[in-house]
Chain A
């Protein structure tokens, strides 16, 4: 298993703006998963993108994956105050446990 490295570590934006956070990893993967964690809560699964996929959408979320650069990005469009949370990426080889980095702390102010 390997952990991803999220960037930036902290991001502050206004409601309605887009938020972009990036993830880099070191070795080849089967898939990459993004999670959200609200303060004091468990993780919520957002999106899984497979290594043969380049882009995936879910509502206001857009995830890209560039396996040649070993990087992924998560875009949240039209942010809301409720999007305030920590976001984690988890690059994954098939069948292994997910390992988490420090995440990106997103703060959306109204």
Chain B
């Protein structure tokens, strides 16, 4: 199957600083990637859809100025959490979409655990 990587796998930052998370498709090109967030013992929540070369589409309730998404190439999307606060501490997971005979499969990265102190 398709491989998606994320970096870093975990990060600790101080309140008020910004953190960048990278998502790469390693063996395929992804015109569309997605960013999810997962709080402990909860399901994944879709944050935004990232399309290569265009602005991301954010889900309702997700602040686009706080969660900056850049999808500058077909293999890389980045999520920057700006002015992070402790409530932003979460597990961030990216996903890339792969066309499969008229449908799309989504492949997920291993996730990035962000802790804001």
Least CB distance, B11 to chain A, in whole angstroms: 15
Complex: A102 Cα to B41 Cα, angstroms: 9
B105: Cβ under 8 A from any A Cβ: yes
Total A-B Cβ pairs within 8 A: 58
Cβ contact within 8 Å between A40 and B91: yes
A95 — which chain B residues lie within 8 A by C-beta? Answer: 104
Cβ contact within 8 Å between A101 and B105: no
Cβ contact within 8 Å between B104 and A43: no
Q: Which one of B4, B34, B103, B109 contacts A97 once the chains associate, using CB atoms below 8 Å? A: B34
A40 — which chain B residues lie within 8 A by C-beta? Answer: 91, 111, 113
- Residue-by-residue, is A9-39 near B (CB-CB < 8 Å gives 1, otherwise 0)? 0000000000000000000001101010000
Complex: A43 Cα to B34 Cα, angstroms: 13
Chain B, Cβ-Cβ closest to A90: B106
Is the contact region of chain B dominated by helix, strand, or loop, or is it mixed?
strand
- Contact status of A45 and B104, CB under 8 A, knowing A40-B113, A88-B43, A103-B43: no
- Contact status of A41 and B105, CB under 8 A, knowing A48-B100, A98-B95, A100-B43: no
Interface residues of B in 37-57 (CB under 8 A from A): 42-44, 46, 49
- Contact status of A48 and B43, CB under 8 A, knowing A42-B111, A43-B108, A97-B34: no
Cβ contact within 8 Å between B110 and A41: yes
Contact-residue bracket for chain A = 20 to 34
Interface residues of A in 29-82 (CB under 8 A from B): 30-31, 33, 35, 40-45, 48, 50
B1: Cβ under 8 A from any A Cβ: yes
Cβ contact within 8 Å between B44 and A43: yes
Q: Which one of A31, A45, A92, A97 contacts B49 once the chains associate, using CB atoms below 8 Å? A: A97
Cβ contact within 8 Å between B43 and A41: no
A102 — which chain B residues lie within 8 A by C-beta? Answer: 42-43
Least CB distance, A42 to chain B, in whole angstroms: 4
Complex: A95 Cα to B99 Cα, angstroms: 9
B105 — which chain A residues lie within 8 A by C-beta? Answer: 33, 45, 48
Cβ contact within 8 Å between A99 and B108: no
B4 — which chain A residues lie within 8 A by C-beta? Answer: 42
